[in-house]
Chains A and B, each alone.
Chain A
Amino acid sequence: MADLAFDPAGHPFESVGHAPASTGLAPASAAYAPGSAGAVPGAGDSLAGSAGFLTELRGALPRLADGLLVTVEATALGAALALLLAYVLGLSSRSARLPVRGGARLVVEFLRGTSLYVQLFWLFFALPMLGFRLEPLACGVLALGLNFGAYGAEVVRGAVAAVPRAQTEAGIALSMGPALRLRRVVLPQAHALMVAPFKNLLVQLLKATPLLSLVTVPDITFQIDQVRSATGSTAASYLLLLGIYGGTAALLGLLMNALERAAKARLGQEGGV
């Protein structure tokens, strides 16, 4: 932890998460009210009543906008990487060749079975010791992409398996080869089945991005936390943060619902969500 390259002061997870090894007997209040940067816990906690909080918030708006952009960026890039990995691993899991199938299963199980938190810390803290130093955001995107890609692989595998065998047989009867059948017959039908579970994963991915603030990525959680430590308005700050994540998740949900309707319409099915 010696090479922590950011100022841990004011970081909410710092005191809750991985610093307290030396303070094992710290009182509960220290663990749950992480205002160790000098802000007085509870001082500004009359929620809307605090003029200081609003003033500070107004001044911080450009930084909050930047933070939101970083969050959206991490979500989009992480999701793009996850999607790519989901297809590669998901389709490999159905390969007729045992080494390909076995390798894909192994990677999926490893990535699903090791926590995102540990993966992120490994990329950020351990990888540099092996001589590879990545930008904090790159570490975050990579960790999100690998972890959610493994979950996505299961979605792809399941959706492909759910397309009726009769569709493949129709393709064989038309002399279509395996690659052509997959691309033209099976995947277009599997896509419609993937959208709903992918929507869940995308929202979960968004909600996992605050972890990135632990490795100095200045995302929205990071920025709001700056406001919180400057004003001491813990409740108001985190309420605002909840609202921002909720709103962003809702927007993503609407987008995915539209995608699902379009995918189902292509299959000649009505409705969807």
Chain B
Amino acid sequence: MPTEDPAVRFERVTKRYGDHTVLDALDLEVGRGERVTLIGPSGSGKTTILRLLMTLERVTDGVIHVDGEPYSHMPGRKPGTLVPASERRLAERRRRIGMVFQQFNLFPHMSVLENVVEAPVHVLGESREEAERTARDLLDLVGLGDKVDARPTRLSGGQQQRVAIARALAMRPGILLLDEVTSALDPELVAEVLDVLRDVARGTDITLLCVTHEMGFARDVSDRILMFDRGRVVESGPASELLESPAHERTRAFLGTVR
């Protein structure tokens, strides 16, 4: 597949819940290795974009492409047509993508190490030794090398979120989705999580899509920031530019509320 294809392309994607339109014919491109942050008031559709990409939700209309191939859809029987992707097809393609959640969502019945090892062993078919070696390296990377045998419930929120980051990275995703990963944390625990993510951003060529209210973090890691409002992109630009001199009135108003 040609490398110039964007990692992610939304083509007139609409998402509706009943009468409520969350995304309205959205066009969006994220390049390979690009780091994009989505900002905007709550309910503006940012998280929905991540959830559509993770296939936790299905599009109402439009097509999502990943790595230049239809992702939300697949070729239909008639040549040139697209039909919604089957569960089997989604299962295969979503391996490209990993996600870290606001509420961590660690598996409470597994130790920290088991949380990280679970999917590489059972989904990718790695040997347990291999998976554990990788997991220990990743847990070292997030500063939790001494917590491998701990239960997630014994850890602080910041530690749990760092485990969740290691768990997502263990699947070696090309695209990582970060859904308000510090919003559920006590203020003093935010920095440890963001520091880990800065390391990840610096040390890999992973494509990042973040939804966050941490403007400092957005500035540090993002190539580009998209300002959302009511399911549409109202402004888009390089991080420093958009944060320093927002062009749009809504962006100015929003940035005023988060600073």
Contacts and interface: CB of A to CB of B under 8 A. Distances in A.
Same complex origin of A and B: yes
Interface of A: 166-167, 169-170, 172-178, 180, 184-185, 188-189, 266-269
B105 A167 contact: yes
A169 B105 contact: yes
A267 B101 contact: no
A189 B119 contact: no
26 contacts: A167-B107, A169-B54, A169-B105, A172-B54, A173-B54, A173-B56, A173-B98, A173-B99, A173-B101, A173-B105, A174-B98, A174-B118, A174-B119, A174-B167, A175-B91, A175-B119, A176-B118, A176-B119, A178-B87, A180-B123, A184-B118, A184-B122, A266-B109, A267-B153, A268-B108, A268-B152
Contact of A166 (B98, B105, B122, B167): B105
Given A170-B101, A188-B109, A267-B109, A180 B122 contact: yes
Given A169-B101, A268-B153, 13 more contacts: A166-B101, A166-B103, A169-B105, A170-B101, A170-B107, A173-B54, A173-B168, A175-B95, A175-B171, A176-B122, A177-B123, A180-B122, A188-B109
B151 interface: yes
* Candidate in A166, A174, A178 with the most chain B CB atoms within 10 angstroms: A174
Contacts of B118: 174, 176, 184
B153 A269 contact: yes
* Candidate in B55, B99, B119 with the most chain A CB atoms within 10 angstroms: B119
B101 to A, nearest CB: 7
B94 A175 contact: yes
B167 A172 contact: no
Contact of A174 (B103, B108, B123): B123
Given A174-B123, A174-B167, A176-B122, A268 B107 contact: no
A174 B153 contact: no
Nearest to A185: B107
Contacts of B109: 188-189, 266-268
Contacts of B154: 268
B151 A169 contact: no
B23 interface: no
Contacts of B167: 174
Contacts of B131: none
A175 B154 CA distance: 26
B106 interface: yes
B123 A175 contact: yes
A185 B123 CA distance: 13
A173 B56 CA distance: 8
B184 to A, nearest CB: 11
A24 to B, nearest CB: 59
Nearest to A188: B109
A73 B109 CA distance: 33
* Candidate in A167, A170, A189 with the most chain B CB atoms within 10 angstroms: A170
A174 B151 contact: no
Nearest to B168: A173
B55 A174 contact: no
Given A166-B103, A172-B54, A173-B98, A267 B123 contact: no
A236 to B, nearest CB: 50
A176 B168 contact: no
Nearest to B54: A173
B123 to A, nearest CB: 5
A144 B135 CA distance: 48
A252 B57 CA distance: 45
Return the 6 tightest CB-CB contacts between A and B, nearest first. Answer: A268-B153, A174-B119, A170-B105, A268-B151, A173-B99, A175-B95
Contacts of A188: 109
Nearest to A173: B99
Contacts of A177: 91, 123
B168 to A, nearest CB: 7
B111 to A, nearest CB: 9
A185 B110 CA distance: 9
A185 B97 CA distance: 20
A164 B98 CA distance: 20
Contacts of B101: 166, 169-170, 173
A174 B106 contact: no
A179 to B, nearest CB: 10
A177 B123 CA distance: 8
B122 A170 contact: no
Contacts of A266: 109
Contacts of B151: 268
Interface string B116-153: 00110011000000000000000000000000000111
Contact of A189 (B54, B108, B123): B108
